[in-house]
Amino acid sequence: MKKTVLVSGGAGFIGSHVTVELLQAGYEVVVADNFSNCDLTCFEDVKKITGRADIPLEKIDFCDEAAAKGIFKKYHFDAVIHFAAFKAVGESVAEPLKYYKNNLVSFLNVLEAAKEVGGCNVLFSSSATVYGEPEKVPVTEDTPRQPAMSPYGNTKTMCEDILQDTVKASGGTIKGILLRYFNPIGAHPSALIGELPRGIPNNLVPFITQTAIGKRECLSIFGNDYPTPDGTCLRDYIDIVDLARAHVFAVTRMMEGKMKKDCEIFNVGTGRPVSVMELVNAFQKVNNVKLNYKIAARRPGDVTAIWADPTLANKELGWKAERSVEDTLKSAWAWELHLAGK
């Protein structure tokens, strides 16, 4: 029988790409989402890409404990991948309680539900934000975590701890993997699914594509006086499909009982630092479009430089980021054009 994976937040940006990769790898997927930050179109497009009109969809909010428990009783899950969370850093500073409540309660309910049915393999979507401003780059999984810069970041750190403690206390019935994502960008090669920010984008690449298409007037580059080669911040931009593939390797490892510890941590990045300026230039070059940008003040809370040492994921998961920044930036632009109906 095919193994079944629950993807909470499966209609969102990362969740939809992961759903596609899981189905294409031969797993069954149940998508659960409350559609608070996405609409049904994306789920419909996942069906188109995979040729699977029958993907089960559960419209639930994981903050509803009874609903979370209900779904674990309705299906048998071999693994759960938890994405359902709020993700806007700035909003989390303005509305911390909203973030703590949603992001913590939904994950607690997933774990309670998993425990109630006798356990499960749980993959949590963590973030490089847990490393804060690292003293040394690239960062390995052993690089110490730093106090989070925002309530959003704090929920990632707290959920990491919650999963580790739960795994420890479960007597081997709950296994966990924490994937720490660097900066996911780009879109599916079909250009049918991609990032759909509501309102003004916070992240760099959606802001670039929206400026290039004319939805925004001008991109502000937040600071060019950082101690980096060109003065702009360095990040590890990872292609969304590469990132999604890492989840397939991780859940396979869990479901096949190949983990070396009951709770494992992997950096999911390319190992390649790229500056904001380099990314902007590459975008213009590969897509042959002109971008209106200006240098602006630093954005409070930004770290100067962070990128991954992905050696552990390469070795243990057998996974490696493959797509070039150029190809990823082409996919981001193709997605923006698709949204514009061009």
Per CB under 6 A, residues contacting ligand UDP are 183, 202-204, 207, 219-222, 233, 235, 276, 299, 302
Q: How far is the CB of 5 from ligand UDP (least distance, A)?
A: 27
Residues 308, 182 contacting (CB under 8 angstroms): yes
Query: At its nearest, how many Å lie between ligand UDP and the CB of residue 101?
Result: 22
- Is 99 assigned a catalytic role? no
| Residue (159 or 204) nearer to ligand UDP, CB | 204
Q: Considering the complex, state which of residue 124 and residue 207 has its C-beta at the smaller distance from ligand UDP.
A: 207
For ligand UDP, give the closer residue by CB, 262 or 302. Answer: 302
Q: Least CB distance from residue 211 to ligand UDP, whole Å? A: 9
Q: By C-beta, is 116 or 230 nearer to ligand UDP?
A: 230
Closest approach, Cβ 92 to ligand UDP, in A, equals 12
Q: How far is the CB of 192 from ligand UDP (least distance, A)?
A: 23
Crossing angle for the helix pair 96-116 and 151-169, nearest 10 degrees? 20
**Whose CB is nearest to ligand UDP?**
233
The catalytic residue among 27, 99, 152, 181 is 152
Closer Cβ to ligand UDP, 146 or 203, answer by number: 203
Which residues are tagged catalytic?
Answer: 152
